[in-house]
Amino acid sequence: MLITMQEYPWIVIIILLPLSAAILSFLFPRRVKLLGLLLALSVIAAVAGLAWQVIEHGAQRYAIGGWAAPLGIELYADGLSLLMLMVTALVCLGVSIYSTGYFNRAYFRRSRAIYFWPLWMFLWTALNALFLSSDIFNLYVTLELLGLSAVALVALAGGADALTSAIRYLFVNLLGSLFYLAGVVLLYHRFGSLDIAILSQHIMSQQMAPSPAVWAAAGLISAGLLLKTALFPMHFWLPPAHASAPGPVSALLSALVVKASFYILLRLWLEIFPVESPVPGQLLGVLGSIAIFWGGIQALRQMRLKMLIAYSTVAQIGYLFLAFPLASYIAWKGMFFLLISHALAKTAMFMAAGNILHFGGHDRIKDFDHVVQYQPLTSAAFALAGISIMGLPPSGGFIGKWLLLEAAVNSGQWWLVIIIILGSLLAAAYIFKVIGFAFTQSEMSHQTRKVPVQMQWTALALALAAVLLGLIAPWPLALMDIGLPFGEGGSG
Amino acid sequence: MLISEILTSLLLAAGAFFFFAGTVGLLRFPDVYTRLHALTKADNVGLGLMILGLALQADSWAAAGKLLLIWLLVLLASASVAHLIAKAAHQKGIEPWQR
Amino acid sequence: MNNIYLYSIVGAGLFTLGLYALISYRHLLRKILALNIMGSGVFLILVALASGETPDPVPHAMVITGIVVAVSASALALALVLRVQAETGKAELPEESLE
Amino acid sequence: MAAMTLLPLLFDTLLGLSLIWLAWRALTSTDLFQAIVLFIAFGLLMALTWVRLDAPDVAMAEAAIGAGLTGALLLATLARLKANNKTKSAPEKKFSLLLTLIILPVVTGLVYVVLTLPQNTPGLAILVAENLKTTGVTNPVTAVLLNYRGYDTLLELAVLLVALLGVWSFGGVPKPHEAYSGPVLNMLLRLLIPLLIMVAGYLLWVGANAPGGAFQAGSVLGAAGVLLLLAGWQLSTRFAELPLRIILVSGVVMFTMAGIVFIVSGRQFLEYPPSFAGAFILLIEAAATLSIGITLAALFLGGRPGLRRHK
């Protein structure tokens, strides 16, 4: 008795698709490119199915193994996780098309290239599983799966600096996971359950001062996740790792992997951690603003394009943390919208950088040689993505920053307003620096290579998506209201 | 059953003594060969005594049989490991100690 | 019941010992050892707190999962160490410049 | 009477102190080889601690994987490192005073918090025991691992596979161990390998109602693989490609396929039909044991077997 269309368990299919594709591409290395494209399309269809279910019937909860929450693991799909799944599906569709050109025989040693596909699909499985899980120990396992596949992908580039940044990234990942696990242990022994919904009921119900265990757990989990999200003092590992990774991998890292640990922090912060006193929020806000300035200034100083973009990621992550001191309904939605548009824009930027690297054999900004003439599509993609990073209308970045500004003005925290504006100016500075050099030609001419056409078009398509996101803003903003954090329990 | 408990504790004590003797040998002997000699001999006998003591307390013959299997395995493993280490040391050119 | 607290304090001690060693030593193998010891410390706290009269099997399953995850992470790290040493000639992290 | 209750306490404190002391010595010893040997001893003492905390399943996993296999991996890596690098790196301290100032509050905070946690909260023990009948196994830990939280175990098998993929993706032809295949080692192999395989089968079978299960059995199988590799055994290139990969993924594949079969028959993902639960769990555990064992041995090898030795 086949179950009818609506009751298809899309929530599980979204996790099983990339897992089975990864296994198939491990077993049959010759047909990886076809598998990659097929996977991207089928996951988009599955996400559409889940979206239809969530919009129709509200947040979906799925008990795996038939065991309800305290005993078994539950998957939970609401507006937030749906949006993250959509962005992941879009970015991964772009990466799958881009990689068919990037990992061809000429550019990448075949024996290494075939490992990109299974590792990337396992990374996608980890992302989908992470966005859907509502069990904190299960989140630990998905974080480890995510971390190990990301490190293996970074090390795929094979150079000396790629390998040293890969092993530093691995240690940072493992340290962050251990801190997170220590927090999980304390929460489990304090409340006897691992499910986020049950934990939030326990914590919200006992109004008396939360016991030190909850505070320690909140501190440990936040420290671990901040280390993985590379917030200011702990960002040292991000630029070398993201810059020395292969093209599509740095796009995946900056757009999705760094956001996954931020997503968990956001969900736990809104639902579990009883944050009465504004002090932690203010602290995160201050660290975020320092990250904006530090990332912006370092980006201006960089000689290589990919390092510049990596430092721009450090700065943009700082923006996301500005919503914590505001903690108002508009602020959370603006920050989340900024997160989505940054994912699309940063993927397009790293793909453009990959094209330039592929075209000229190097990415030293000073020695760009007629990039605009020979690579019009790539330069257009970089410019459009820059518009969204800078936050110029009508791009998605603009809407996100505008909502943050609105929230800052309403709550009267003027220092945040200044930081948001200055941050945008810094972003404009380093993007115009790159675009400026794209028009010049360098003294020494070096032989150039033809960039496969699909690599250029995917970069342009994703950049366009980042810009057009601003035009369709009301739909995703409404989607965020489904489900827990913003819906009923929305604070502010 | 007081007797079996006394017997067991006696055997365990004897086993512990042999382990102690093996450790003293390890610390006191001058080179790798004599240390290997002391360790494998003393520890195996010590373990044998301990296993015998525990077998008295075992609740079924199967459990006693498993304990005996453990002892045989350890005998096999420690003998061959001792040989391998001695062979590796010899290949490395460590001369046995002469007075 | 005080051995619950004894072992959880030992677990906390191992956690911080590993953290100290991870940060202060530059050789990559030492960092991997430190990470494994930190992992054992967290698992010790997890199981020690659950070992009252009714031993709770869920932490045991979590620790077994954690041990397998730890060994796969260590295997990847060790393979990376060999590759880093092959490329850069030394098995240590370059002096991290904090910019 | 006091003497009898004092003895376990004395033993526990002694065990706890020796754990800390061994960990400290392992981390700060000047010679790396000595550090690894102390780490293996630390792993064995950890296994003893798990027995003291009446967690036999964890004790077996710790002894086999935590101490045994991780130790073997560390020693193999050190051997390959030693070929061209001094290992006597004195652990020079950098900004150690500042570090102790940071670490000290962390440890006191952790200890204080741990002391405030309520004692012997039953946690999920009662819930697990109540529903044990429908899980098809009587060993609660296997029930949690395979049935209640089977999804965790599925992802964890994927983690193991990703680690192997990562190791293989680094390329690098595995330097064949200089086989010490002397007569003694061959005799040891002839006796031990069949016994190890039988013990693995026994652990797998007994896992349903006593401490044991896929991970312990898989690690014993992995140990047998490591022993074979040490003796210089080579996988013939005929099996190096597809057959090996099928075995490696068999654990994850069996788990996912079982889950899909349950969905098609109208149940939730990984919801075992109570009547066949035991059979399904044994099937999945058998596949998982095989794939874990071969994966752990392949991780020890450190490179793709059957690679053409292009110099």
DSSP D131: G
Mean pLDDT, rounded, for D142-155 = 91
Nearest residue on chain D to C95, judged by CA atoms?
D94
Query: Chains near C, with 3+ CB pairs < 8 A?
Result: A, D
Q: Provide the residue type at A19 as one letter.
A: L
Given a cut of 80, is residue D2 above it in pLDDT? no
> What number is the ipTM of this complex?
0.92
C44 and A CB contact within 8 Å: no
Does chain A touch chain C (at least 3 C-beta pairs within 8 Å)? yes
Q: What is the model's pLDDT at position D310?
A: 35
Q: What is the pLDDT of residues D8-29, one digit of tens each?
A: 889 999 999 999 999 999 998 8
Q: Give the side-chain half-sphere CA count within 13 A for A84.
A: 28
Q: Provide the residue type at A439 as one letter.
A: F
Q: What is the model's pLDDT at position C62?
A: 93
A residues 188-217 closer than 8 Å to D (CB):
188-190, 192-193, 211-213, 216
CA-wise closest residue to A256 among A168, A344, A383: A344
Mean pLDDT for chain D overall:
85
CA dihedral A254, A260, A266, A269 (to 10 degrees): -130
Q: What CATH number is associated with residue C49?
A: 1.10.287.3510
Q: What is the model's pLDDT at position A491?
A: 40
Where do we find the tokens 């919200």?
A204
Helix axes A160-191, C57-88, angle to 10 degrees: 170
Nearest residue on chain A to D159, judged by CA atoms?
A145
Q: What is the model's pLDDT at position A477?
A: 85
Number of domains composing chain C? 1
How far is Cα D185 from Cα D179, in angstroms, rounded to an integer? 10
DSSP A62: E
Q: What share of chain D is helix, strand, coil (3-state, %, to 5)?
A: 75, 0, 25
Mean pLDDT, rounded, for D97-111 = 81
Going from N- to C-terminal start, the domains of chain D cover 9-87, 122-311
Q: What is the model's pLDDT at position A172?
A: 94
Give the residue with greater pLDDT, D225 vs A207. Answer: D225
| Chain A with chain C: Cβ pairs closer than 8 A | 75
Q: What is the model's pLDDT at position A201?
A: 86
Which DSSP helix (H) or strand (E) runs through A433? helix A414-439
Given a cut of 70, is residue D270 above it in pLDDT? yes
Given a cut of 50, is residue D309 above it in pLDDT? no
Q: Which 3-state string (H, E, C) describes chain B?
A: CHHHHHHHHHHHHHHHHHHHHHHHHHHHCCCHHHHHHHHHHHHHHHHHHHHHHHHHHCCCHHHHHHHHHHHHHHHHHHHHHHHHHHHHHHHHCCCCCCC
Q: What is the pLDDT of residues A190-206, one digit of tens each?
A: 888 889 888 888 887 76
| Chain C with chain D: Cβ pairs closer than 8 A | 244
Q: Which two tokens stand for residue A316?
A: 């943009």
Torsion sign across C-alpha atoms D183, D188, D190, D191: positive
Given a cut of 70, is residue D246 above it in pLDDT? yes
Burial A63-96 (b: 16+ CB within 10 A, else e): bbbbbebbbbbbbbbbbbbbbbbbbbbbbbbbbb
Q: What is the pLDDT of residues B32-48, one digit of tens each?
A: 888 888 889 888 999 99
User: D139 CB contacts (<8 Å, ≥6 apart)?
Assistant: D57, D207, D208, D209, D210, D211, D212, D213
Q: Is residue C97 part of a domain?
A: no
Question: Which residues are paired to A76 by β-bridges?
Answer: A61
Cβ distance D180 to B83 less than 8 Å, yes or no, reads no
CA-wise closest residue to A133 among A175, A87, A182, A84: A84
Q: What is the model's pLDDT at position C1?
A: 56
Q: What is the model's pLDDT at position A413?
A: 86
Supply the range of the domain harboring residue C13: 3-88
Going from N- to C-terminal start, the domains of chain A cover 1-274, 299-492
Q: What is the model's pLDDT at position A272?
A: 83
Q: What is the model's pLDDT at position D287?
A: 95
Q: What is the model's pLDDT at position D306?
A: 59
Q: Which two tokens stand for residue D226?
A: 């490591």
pTM, to two decimals: 0.93
Cβ distance D180 to B87 less than 8 Å, yes or no, reads yes
* pLDDT per residue of chain B (99 residues) written in tens, 0 to 9: 688 889 999 999 999 999 999 999 888 888 888 888 888 988 899 999 999 999 988 888 889 998 999 999 999 889 888 888 888 888 888 888 887
Alpha-carbon gap: C99 to the closest alpha carbon of chain A (Å): 7
Q: Which two tokens stand for residue D158?
A: 């994927």
* pLDDT per residue of chain A (492 residues) written in tens, 0 to 9: 455 556 788 899 999 999 999 999 999 888 888 889 999 999 999 999 999 998 888 888 888 888 887 888 999 998 889 999 999 999 999 999 999 888 876 556 667 788 899 999 999 999 999 999 999 999 999 999 999 999 999 998 888 889 999 999 999 999 999 999 999 999 998 888 889 888 888 887 765 566 788 888 899 999 999 999 998 888 889 999 998 998 899 999 999 999 999 999 999 988 887 677 788 888 999 999 999 999 999 999 988 999 999 999 999 999 999 988 888 888 888 999 999 999 999 999 999 999 988 888 788 888 877 777 888 888 999 999 999 999 888 888 899 999 999 999 998 888 899 999 999 999 999 999 988 888 877 776 667 778 888 888 999 999 999 999 888 888 888 888 887 666 444 443
Mutate to test the interface with B, among D178, D184, D203 (most CBs of B within 10 A): D184
CA-wise closest residue to A203 among A136, A148, A286: A136
Pairs from D236-244 (Cβ < 8 Å, separation ≥ 24)? D236/D306, D237/D306, D239/D306, D240/D304, D240/D305, D240/D306, D240/D307, D241/D306, D242/A27, D244/D294, D244/D298, D244/D305, D244/D306
Nearest residue on chain D to B73, judged by CA atoms?
D192
Q: What is the model's pLDDT at position A490?
A: 40
Given a cut of 50, is residue C98 above it in pLDDT? no
Does chain B touch chain C (at least 3 C-beta pairs within 8 Å)? no
Give chain A positions within 8 Å (CB) of C28.
Answer: 167
Where do we find the tokens 């790792």?
A241
C42 and D CB contact within 8 Å: no
Give chain C positions within 8 Å (CB) of A167.
Answer: 28, 77, 80-81, 84, 93
How far is Cα A330 from Cα A296, in angstroms, rounded to an integer? 25
Does chain A touch chain D (at least 3 C-beta pairs within 8 Å)? yes
Cβ distance C35 to A160 less than 8 Å, yes or no, reads no
DSSP, collapsed to helix, strand or coil, labels residue D182 as coil
Q: What is the model's pLDDT at position D88?
A: 53
Q: What is the pLDDT of residues C35-74, one digit of tens each?
A: 999 999 999 999 998 887 778 889 999 999 999 999 999 9
Q: What is the model's pLDDT at position D86?
A: 53
Given a cut of 90, is residue D114 above it in pLDDT? no
Q: What is the model's pLDDT at position A274?
A: 67
Mutate to test the interface with C, among A135, A167, A227, A311 (most CBs of C within 10 A): A167
DSSP A487: T
Alpha-carbon gap: C43 to the closest alpha carbon of chain D (Å): 10
Mean pLDDT, rounded, for D36-58 = 93
Residue D274: asked if its preceding bond is cis (omega within 30°), the reply is no
C38 and D CB contact within 8 Å: no
Given a cut of 90, is residue D235 above it in pLDDT? no
Q: What is the model's pLDDT at position C99?
A: 39
DSSP, collapsed to helix, strand or coil, labels residue A79 as helix
Q: Is residue C95 part of a domain?
A: no
Given a cut of 80, is residue C94 above it in pLDDT? no
Nearest residue on chain C to D115, judged by CA atoms?
C5
**Percent of chain D beyond pLDDT 70?**
87
Given a cut of 70, is residue D1 above it in pLDDT? no
Burial C33-68 (b: 16+ CB within 10 A, else e): bbbbbbbbbbbbbbbbbbbbeebbbbbbbbbbbbbb
Give CA A267 to chain center in angstroms.
15
Q: Which two tokens stand for residue B61?
A: 């013959």
Q: What is the model's pLDDT at position A362?
A: 80
Cβ distance A119 to D147 less than 8 Å, yes or no, reads no
Cβ distance A65 to D156 less than 8 Å, yes or no, reads no
Q: Is residue C27 part of a domain?
A: yes
